[in-house]
Amino acid sequence: MIERMVKLGVTLMVVGVVAALGLGLTYTVTRKKIEQYDLQVEAQACLSALPGVKSASEIKEDKQLSAKVRKKYPDVQKVFTCGKGYIFVVKTKGYGGPLTLAVGIDPGGKVRGIATVTSKETVGLGSKALEAAYLGGFKGKTAADKLKVGEDVQAVTGATITSKAVTGQVKQALEAFSLIEQ
């Protein structure tokens, strides 16, 4: 009886190990390309987060600032700078998985725009909190705003969790901005 169970387990394990090897190999081969593509998507989102910036060459990641901000606000992945302000790439948990947004803030500390980098939110429900109509509502917000769902921010019906995630991310970006400008 035990012998048979061991035999089944070992068979399953061998299959699993071989499959994992194959997948690891594919992953190694495709990783570079996928990373490149992800960076491109991120740059695209940053461009639309800060109106007035026309090409990706104008914005640059400030690695020192990124590291400094990340120490206090671990959800902030990257800080991009350009003459027209900062772009914060913030990643937190949404409803369907990781949710990454790019938040553009002008030198005066006002939110100028928000763009989705990656999202796994449910199409038709959570995704409604990522549409321009909702994200546009954050324009002009500053670090002085409370930014709390239910108080000065409305949640989208059926997308409460996503709305909260978005609001929290904008708040973090603004706080990170204050940290930089101190």
**Which residues make up the interface to other proteins (CB under 8 A)?**
7-8, 11-12, 15-16, 19, 22-23, 26-27, 29-30, 33-34, 37
CB of 25 to other proteins, least distance (A): 9
CB of 22 to other proteins, least distance (A): 6
Tokens 């990641």, residue located = 61
What is the DSSP code string of 140-160? Answer: T--TTS---BTTTBPPPTT-H
- Phi, psi (degrees; rounded to nearest 5) at 117: -90, -60
CB of 116 to other proteins, least distance (A): 13
How far apart are the C-alpha atoms of 150 and 168, rounded to whole Å?
A: 13
Question: Considering beta carbons, is residue 16 or 74 the nearer one to other proteins?
Answer: 16
Cβ atoms of 59 and 82 within 8 Å: the answer is yes
CB of 126 to other proteins, least distance (A): 14
Question: Considering beta carbons, is residue 25 or 67 the nearer one to other proteins?
Answer: 25
Question: Considering beta carbons, is residue 67 or 123 the nearer one to other proteins?
Answer: 123
Question: Considering beta carbons, is residue 83 or 124 the nearer one to other proteins?
Answer: 124
Cβ atoms of 172 and 76 within 8 Å: the answer is yes
Question: Considering beta carbons, is residue 15 or 67 the nearer one to other proteins?
Answer: 15
Beta-carbon contacts of 104 under 8 Å, excluding residues fewer than 6 positions away, are 46, 49, 50, 51, 85, 86, 87, 111, 112, 113, 114, 115
E-strand stretches of 46-151: 60-61, 76-82, 85-93, 98-105, 111-118
Strand-strand pairing, 85-93 and 111-118: unpaired
CB of 40 to other proteins, least distance (A): 8
